[in-house]
Structure 1
Amino acid sequence: MVDFEWYRSFIAIYKHNSVSEAAKSRIMTQPAMSQHLASLEAEVGEQLFSRAKRRLTPTERGKQLYSQLAPLIESLEEATMELKSPLPPTLKVMRVGASPAMFIERILKQLSRPDLSIISHLGTADELLELLKEDRVDLILTSKKFLSPGIEYVRFIDESFVVVAPAGTEVPNTVKLKEREQWLSEQRWISYGLELPIIRRYWREHFKKRPLINPVHIIPSLHLILCAIEEGAGLSLLPTYILEHFKQNEQRWEIVFPDMLIHNELLIGYKSKNKHSLEITEFMKTIKLV
């Protein structure tokens, strides 16, 4: 007789391609996880994974079994969560993944809705994608479109980025790209991450080359980067929607070369199986209108 826990362990191994990582995710020992897999393979009568070095790759039978089991396991787990939930049945629950900045701009305003409970997860685009894959969120607000089976995207909003510096920064009055690029390269930069994704795009679009800079500070929060700029720590690229919220009479930051914008498209990602969910569709429409 098949133990239900064998199925859950199989799903975890399939997602992580590793018995040890799957064991960590289920808070189990590695031998116990291996035993679950061995028992299930014995019951099925075929190998479910091929073993190569430290990575497990699902066999055709493993892929077939996963496609059959995953929706059933997910439905059971969702039903279990609903039974445990202390919330009134009329209160809608929405699990949302976003960056801290986008949470402030779009999700925070939804928290006062009396008919809605929001479970929030904050992280980078890569981290949010993993949450969506694992069905830990219903949708994500992301700046990256990953090609992943069973996940779809719709356009959310367009954002514009500009270079922002501390107020009073001496900026050369020139329209020559070479002089602007040289001046920018000599400044102290603050970046959201070590990969410099938006800074690299800025250089490619305007200077047709890669930036030869090393950021002085890494701060994974756009709002905190603006605070650091106000303290004179350096300059950075920030979306204009954040700057709109921080305009003051005694402004402590200024936009550098305002004619040199770059544009970035933000997306909403969700599972294909939830494409026609009325709750998700309604929530997406609401946050687009904010």
Structure 2
Amino acid sequence: MVDFEWYRSFVSIYKHGSVSEAARTRMMTQPAMSQHLASLEAEVGEPLFTRAPRKMIPTERGKTLYTQVVPLIEALEETTQTLKTSTASSLPIIRIGANHEFFREKLAPHIGSYQLRVVAYLGVASRLLDLLLEEKADIIVMPQKLSVPGVEYIPYMQEEFVLVASPDYSEPAFAERDAFEAWLCSQPWISYDLDLPIIRRFWREHFQKRPQTQPTHVVPDLHSVLAAIEHGAGISLLPTFMLNHHLSSGKVKVLYPSCTVTNDLYLAYQMKNRSLPHLKALIETLKRTV
């Protein structure tokens, strides 16, 4: 059975005269692009290009196929795009990706003001970037800028992480940094990842080295970390945007408030979509509701 993506890859190679350039444009690997072409040629039963140094030259069969499929592909893509936005509602759809905690605490309370129909995807940074590249998400919130062709990043906001414990947790005073570090290392830590991502950054910021500790508990997400802290299971670093209610109700407390660590967040989208009106409108709204 012919895969529609084979035709899209064929058209891209035809237009660019190069497998590598076509792969870059479609954000695919070169071997995957070559496999698409080989599969289509096997289905057609003859070569569609002559392989020349640094150039793919279409054969007569390739030229004929190109003139036949281009109008069909363009019409199908236009129809698909129309279906994405033409619904019973007049509002356009925007597909947002973010991690679970950030969406729940910072984005979900404001979606009624976006003047858009929101479809949310939640996950870790690598998964969100895959969704963006696969054109399943229009915009994602990223904790770092990864060098990926065709993806543009703009600064969004800065998260602040603080050291959080249960209300009755001991908070001794320390005259020396080494004693403070030793005390921290002796505490039961709760993390959402064995690699201690934000804890490592905290240690680099305040002690200029990697943490000499291992988590006592590893739980699925930051809300689970917070729940465990409330019930006295240990300490951890959490973003301040999660804590307002829990602090005001006395369920947790911040230890050593001057010992914080920050993390920059970015909005990422495909560069080719930067001028889309609904994407520009959402970016402005997101910046206003930080």
Could you say which TM-score interval applies, normalised by the shorter chain? Answer: 0.7 to 0.9
User: Which amino acid counterpart does residue 228 of structure 1 have in structure 2?
Assistant: A
Measured against aligned partners, the alpha-carbon deviations of 1:98-118 in whole angstroms (never above 9, x if no partner) come to 001111133212333484211
**Maintained 8 Å contact 1:152/1:270:** yes
Secondary structure at the counterpart of residue 173 of structure 1: coil
Query: What does 1:3-82 correspond to in 2, within 5 Å?
Result: 4=4, 6-7=6-7, 15=28, 35-36=39-40, 38-39=42-43, 42-46=46-50, 61=56, 76-77=76-77, 79-80=79-80, 82=82
The AA in structure 2 aligned to 1:162 is: V
Give the match's secondary structure for 1:112: helix
Q: Which residue of 1 aligns with 2:271?
A: 272
Larger-gyration structure (1/2):
2
Give the partner amino acid of 1:262: V
Q: Which residue of 2 aligns with 1:284?
A: 283
Contact 1:97–1:120 under 8 Å retained in 2: yes
CA shift digits 1:15-52 (9 cap, x unpaired): 36777xx9xxxxxxx9x9974464479443257xxxxx
Listed as ranges, the gaps of 5+ residues in structure 1 are 23-29, 48-58, 63-68
Distance 1:5 1:241, change over 3 A: closer
Query: Are 2:166 and 1:153 aligned?
Result: no
What fraction of aligned residue pairs are identical, expressed as a percent? 38
Tell me, what secondary structure is at the counterpart of 2:112?
A: coil
Letter in 1 for 2:48: V
Mapped partners of 1:150, 1:106: distance in 2: 27
| 1:205 pairs with 2:209 | no
User: How far apart, CA to CA, are the structure 2 residues paired with 1:34 and 1:132?
Assistant: 27
- Does the residue aligned with 1:111 lie in a helix, a strand or coil? helix
Aligned residue pairs: how many? 260
Query: 1:198-256: per-residue Cα shift (whole Å, max 9, x none)?
Result: 1111101100111122212223422221111101122111111111232333x121111
**Paired residue type of 1:120:** A
Q: Using the TM superposition, name which of 191-200 and 79-88 deviates more.
A: 79-88
CA RMSD of aligned residues (A): 3.5
Q: Distance between the aligned counterparts of 1:156 and 1:7, measured in 2?
A: 38
Q: Aligned partners of 2:50 and 2:229: how far apart in 1?
A: 60
In 1, the alpha carbon distance for the partners of 2:84 and 2:280 equals 25
Say whether 1:170 aligns with 2:170: yes
Distance 1:255 1:14, change over 3 A: closer
Q: Give the whole-Å Cα distance in 1 for the aligned partners of 2:45 and 2:202.
A: 52
Give 1:187's aligned amino acid.
Q
Correspondence 1:120 to 2:124: no
Letter of the aligned partner of 1:218 in structure 2? V
The corresponding residue for 1:99 is: 99
Query: What SS does the aligned partner of 1:246 have?
Result: helix
Q: Partner residue of 1:144? A: 144
Q: Secondary structure at the match of 1:276?
A: coil
| 8 Å contact from structure 1 (residues 106, 287) kept in 2 | no
